[in-house]
Amino acid sequence: MKERLRVSVDKNVLSRFKNSVIAKHGTLWRALSEEVEEALRLWLERHAHTNCTQILPTQNSSEAVKRVGKTEQVWTQVKAYLQQRLDTPCIHKISRRLLEEAISNVRGGDPRTVRRWLREFLNCGIIRWNGGEVFEVA
């Protein structure tokens, strides 16, 4: 089901976007909606890790942005540690033990700190519990 979307966009940006759509499709009719929808999909995929709406609805927007930014920053550090430790650029599944080790090395070994960051990563959708002692990296 489609919904109508009405937004205000910079005139130059919209003009460039429309010209690109015409160049690709030869027309704006239907093509503009398809390309805007595709642009929205790509934006959502690109920002999947920063979408923490499950844990942020009660906070004001500036606190939410800071929290998401901090979570992303810590995840980047944890991921870099894991990549170095495992000597691989891609991490798809990770054991709880290794994930806790990485958090301990990046943020400190206090069990409460480790639990907090595991919870943050889960709530933000950065990792998913895969059952047992294994997490899947989103």
* pLDDT tens digits, 21-30: 999 889 998 8
Q: Which fold has domain 49-137?
A: Arc Repressor Mutant, subunit A (1.10.10)
| Res. 57 pLDDT band, cuts 50 70 90 | very low
Domain boundaries, the chain: 11-46, 49-137
Q: Report the 10 Å Cβ neighbour count for 8.
A: 6
**Residue given tokens 């934006």 in the structure block:** 43
Q: What is the mean pLDDT of the chain?
A: 83
State whether residue 131 is helix, strand or coil: coil
For residue 87, list its beta bridge partners. none
In the Cβ-directed half-sphere of 79, how many Cα atoms lie within 13 Å? 17
Mean pLDDT of 87-114: 91
Rounded to two decimals, the pTM is 0.53
Sign of the torsion angle spanned by Cα atoms 116, 78, 73, 132: negative
Cα maximum dimension of the chain = 60
